[in-house]
Amino acid sequence: MPHRFESAEHWAKVFDDPSRDEWQQPAIVIEALGLRPNTIVADVGAGTGYFAARLARIASDGQVIATDIEPDMVRYLRERAAREHLPNLRAVLAGANDPKLDSCSVDRILVVDVWHHIGSRVEYARGLASALRPGGQILIVDFTLDSSRGPPKQHRLLPDAVIADLRAAGLDAALSTTKLPDQYIVIGKLRDGPRRCPT
């Protein structure tokens, strides 16, 4: 479901509305990531930084790579990082089918309310899988079919579809037991076996 989010100032009023906390439950989502202070985490489709800013405060000795395909969102993210004194938050302009994450570069990847927008999901998942370091994980958060919010129902994805995307990209994937009011979480992990990363 392609959709443009071109005006960061406009969307900041939506994405960063304090009322979002009630249904998005950011603390629960972030807890599911299992961050440490030195974690390197990518927030894919970061928008105006609702999650990225929170992640940067927790991974204070690590790094947050906030990606988005909208140039104005990337501008806004850079300005927000400076405004909120988050030197470990780096904004990156991604491609529609390319997350623009270096191979073996991150410990965790968070994708919130974005997966249903991606066209070539398996191809995109392969790019994300390539970016994981050994022990890395991807968390995809998206809307349930019966949620009262989110995209039109015909554009929503069942958890099984997300799991299939990640498995087709070479990852182990399963539905998380973490419960959210309107959403589910799918976790993807590298399959067992040697993973060579530059040292």
Segment 135-185, tens digit of pLDDT: 999 999 999 999 989 888 988 999 999 999 999 999 999 999 999 999 999
Of 4-13, 41-50, 121-130, 148-157, the least confident: 4-13
In a domain, 73, yes or no: yes
Of 5-14, 18-27, 119-128, 181-190, the least confident: 5-14
Average pLDDT, stretch 56-64? 96
CATH code, 53: 3.40.50.150
In a domain, 41, yes or no: yes
Q: What is the DSSP letter of 175?
A: E
pLDDT at 194 (0 to 100): 61
Average pLDDT, stretch 187-193? 86
Residue 12 reports pLDDT greater than 90? no
Residue 31 reports pLDDT greater than 90? yes
In a domain, 83, yes or no: yes
Query: How many domains does the chain contain in total?
Result: 1
Contact present, 20 and 51 (Cβ < 8 Å): no
In a domain, 10, yes or no: no
Q: How many Å apart are CA 171 and CA 164, to the nearest integer?
A: 9
Q: How many Å apart are CA 55 and CA 93, to the nearest integer?
A: 18
In a domain, 55, yes or no: yes
pLDDT at 2 (0 to 100): 45
Q: Which two tokens mark 95?
A: 């491609």
In a domain, 182, yes or no: no
- In terms of Cβ atoms closer than 10 Å to its own Cβ (0-12, 13-18, 19+), residue 193 is exposed
Tell me phi and psi for residue 155, to 5 degrees: -100, 0
Give percent of the chain with pLDDT exceeding 70: 89
pLDDT at 79 (0 to 100): 95
Residues 76-117 have pLDDT tens digits of 999 999 999 999 999 999 998 899 999 999 999 999 999 998
In a domain, 28, yes or no: yes
The angle that helices 50-58 and 71-83 make with each other, rounded to 10 degrees, is 40
Under the banding of pLDDT at 50, 70 and 90, the label for residue 3 is: very low
Query: Which residue segment(s) compose the domain that 98 sits in?
Result: 22-141+150-158
Q: How many Å apart are CA 40 and CA 88, to the nearest integer?
A: 10
In a domain, 98, yes or no: yes
Question: Taking Cα atoms as reference points, which of 51, 40, 39, 91 lies closest to residue 70?
Answer: 91
Of 24-33, 44-53, 62-71, 149-158, the least confident: 149-158
